[in-house]
Amino acid sequence: MNLASDPYVWVAAILTLCVFSFLYKDNPFFCFAEHLVVGLAAGYTFCTYWQTIFLPELITPLWQDGMGSHAHLWISVVICFMWACKYIDRAQDLFRCALAFWIAVDLGLFLPTTMSARVLEQIAGTVNLRLQGDWTVILGNLVLFVGTIASLTYFYFSKAHKGVVGAAARVGSWTIMVGFGATFSYVVLSRIYLLIGRVHFLMRDWLGIVE
């Protein structure tokens, strides 16, 4: 055994053990590590937003270039103050207006991007499948095409799921279950990789038991 001499390694190892202590039961050590992570994440996020958004995009233009040349930025300033009205009982309606504005802008930016990346691109990829080349490629394209059509048929409720439609809907439900299972397996596998990484860190970098 060759214990590490780096204090940062010791801090990381102790915090890792504090998180692992939750496997026994909820305890003050885990609560400390949990609150520390949340606090550091909040502080890091605030500093990142301050350095990359507020200073270069809002404060610096208003301060250096003059307030009149960037009059549209005052809308953002007003909305920021409206967010602060959440803690004022008589002005909470202003906070709701700011929240509604933020949700509307977020949806307006999110929906076109999502439709383009997750819907239109997948439709184009499914339509442009080519049944040529190696037999494994052809088989994979056929499975992808049939699974896509069957999955869409499963959510088609304008006609009773009987006969051909019912058979396609059943295939679609199997395809969806396979997709859910693959997604769940990927999540579990990624968490196992994280566990292996932390155990390897404790055994190698902290305790020096393994190379």
For residue range 46-60, list pLDDT tens digits in order: 999 999 988 888 888
The count of other CB atoms within 10 Å of the CB of residue 123 is 11
Q: Where are the domains of the chain?
A: 1-71, 73-128, 129-211
In the predicted structure, residue 92 carries a pLDDT above the cut 90: no
On whether the CB atoms of residues 96 and 79 are closer than 8 A, the answer is: no
**Res 90: pLDDT:** 86
Rg (CA), the chain: 27
In the predicted structure, residue 93 carries a pLDDT above the cut 80: yes
Is residue 116 classed exposed, middle or buried when 0-12, 13-18 and 19+ CB atoms within 10 A define those classes? exposed
pLDDT tens digits for 106-158? 999 898 888 888 888 888 888 887 777 788 888 888 888 899 899 989 998 88
Mean pLDDT of 169-184: 94
Degrees (nearest 5) of the Cα angle 51, 54, 55? 60
Residue 189 makes CB contacts below 8 A (sequence gap 6+) with none
For helices 7-20 and 28-49, angle between their N-to-C axes, nearest 10 degrees:
120
CA distances to 8, 28, 150, 160, 202 from 33, rounded to whole Å, are 15, 9, 47, 54, 17
In the predicted structure, residue 21 carries a pLDDT above the cut 90: yes
Residue 15 makes CB contacts below 8 A (sequence gap 6+) with 33, 36
On whether the CB atoms of residues 81 and 91 are closer than 8 A, the answer is: no
On whether the CB atoms of residues 29 and 21 are closer than 8 A, the answer is: yes
Q: Report the first-to-last Cα separation within the chain, whole angstroms.
A: 11
For residue 147 the two structure tokens come to: 């699974």
Q: How far apart are CA 124 and CA 197, in angstroms?
A: 39
What percentage of residues in the chain have a pLDDT greater than 90? 47
**Res 97: pLDDT:** 92
**Res 38: pLDDT:** 96
Mean pLDDT of 2-13: 90
The count of other CB atoms within 10 Å of the CB of residue 143 is 11
68 pLDDT band, cuts 50/70/90, is low
Q: Which one is predicted more confidently, 12 or 211? A: 12
Per the listing, tokens 């504090």 go with: 18
In the predicted structure, residue 82 carries a pLDDT above the cut 70: yes
**Res 66: pLDDT:** 65
- What value does the mean pLDDT of the chain take? 89
Mean pLDDT of 207-211: 84
In the predicted structure, residue 36 carries a pLDDT above the cut 70: yes
The count of other CB atoms within 10 Å of the CB of residue 29 is 17
On whether the CB atoms of residues 175 and 151 are closer than 8 A, the answer is: yes
